[in-house]
Amino acid sequence: MKLDDTYLRGIGAWLPNVVSTADAVADGRYDADTCADDGYESICVERDLVAVEMAVEAGRHALAAAGTAPESIDTLFHGGLWYQGAEMWPAASFVADQVAHPRTHAFDLQQQCNVGLSGLELAARLLRADGGDIMVTTADRFTGNRFDRWSTETGIVYGDGAAAAIIGRTPSPLRIVATHTVASNDAEPVIRGPEFSLETPADPLVLQSRFDHFATTGGLRAAVQRVLGAVSEAVSGVLADADCAMEDLGHMIVPAAGRSKFDRQLGSLAAFDITRSNWRFAQTIGHMGASDQLVGLAHLLSTTRPRTGERILLVGGGAGFTCTCVVVEWTGLDTDEPPVRIGRPAAAPVPVR
């Protein structure tokens, strides 16, 4: 989908303090051989805030980065993978009330790790010339007695964090050039597990056991090919809509999987160059689920000044399977200051209203 007059007005992130993977190996939480294969150096671990409170922090930083008022947010989408702080509860309404205002239209999204970028595409489709801005927030805290961030999935260690983006028509240094989503819903059984359950399970969640079960059905190779095909098609589609090639891109922001999984998922892409990606940063924070891309973009812009006209590719993917790709362009607009704010625990969170 090629876009006109659509901008990322502000990006916010909340990055907790990190725990060294070497320490996790030393105390037996993380397997040493797996650590060597994954390549993670540290993982963000939130000590105090629940997921939606981190989303509120990220949302407030996005507002500050955009220089806009809470009243400008007409609609808010929120999503995450894991427990948000309460059961059977509209998390998006909480985030909207804390970040924007009580009349903001608030919707929870569920698209696994693809929530962040699919939310951007949905927001871009819904923007009206005479309407307000749309905010997308994502957040997860992968803790509790049912989730072991270090071992629930081979090739990934889950890090805590949150991100937010404001999408609008007001010109900004960051223009959204194009988005493209490809679905392969027949890959859904890969992560479902052997059977449905009438009750919420009490046992720890081990995602790898679901993958291993699916492998016994004999359909794993075909499912992997469908997923890789969807990623390749989404990348090709967004580049065609943006009228550019991989070689034209300044940077690429991709999921923060471990190195071995990273190579399997993205190494087949034509002209993919890991040195132009966020991999080095991803090694230090872990896989933040739906927040990987926006957090990666926030970090890139806070540490690097793109050239005017430089384009950045964001690649997302979520179990189900969907892949959303987004191309953004640095317009400059006579400023060297990126519309980005990153919050960390050293700054005391604003109390909940």
> Within a 10 A sphere around the Cβ of 133, how many other Cβ atoms?
26
Domain ranges in the chain are: 1-342
Peptide bond into 321 cis (omega under 30): yes
Residue with tokens 């607009």: 333
Plot region of 126 (φ>0 → left; ψ -120 to 50 → alpha; else → beta):
alpha
Tens of pLDDT along the chain (353 residues) come to 999 899 999 999 999 999 999 999 999 999 999 999 999 999 999 999 999 999 999 999 999 999 999 999 999 999 999 999 999 999 999 999 999 999 999 999 998 999 999 999 999 999 987 779 999 999 999 988 888 999 988 889 999 999 999 999 999 999 999 999 999 888 788 878 888 888 888 888 888 888 888 788 877 788 888 888 888 899 999 999 999 999 899 999 999 988 877 776 666 565 667 778 898 999 999 999 999 999 999 999 999 988 999 999 999 999 889 999 999 999 987 666 889 999 999 755 445 44
CATH topology of domain 1-342: Peroxisomal Thiolase; Chain A, domain 1 (3.40.47)
C-alpha 310/C-alpha 184 separation (Å) is 31
Burial grade of 142 (CB within 10 A; 0-12, 13-18, 19 or more): buried
What is the per-residue pLDDT for 165? 98
Query: pTM higher than 0.95 for the full model?
Result: no
Listed in sequence order, the residues at least 6 apart from 242 whose beta carbon sits closer than 8 Å to its beta carbon are 2, 177, 178, 311, 327
**Quick one: which of 237, 273, 268, 233 has its CA closest to 252?**
273
C-alpha 62/C-alpha 99 separation (Å) is 10
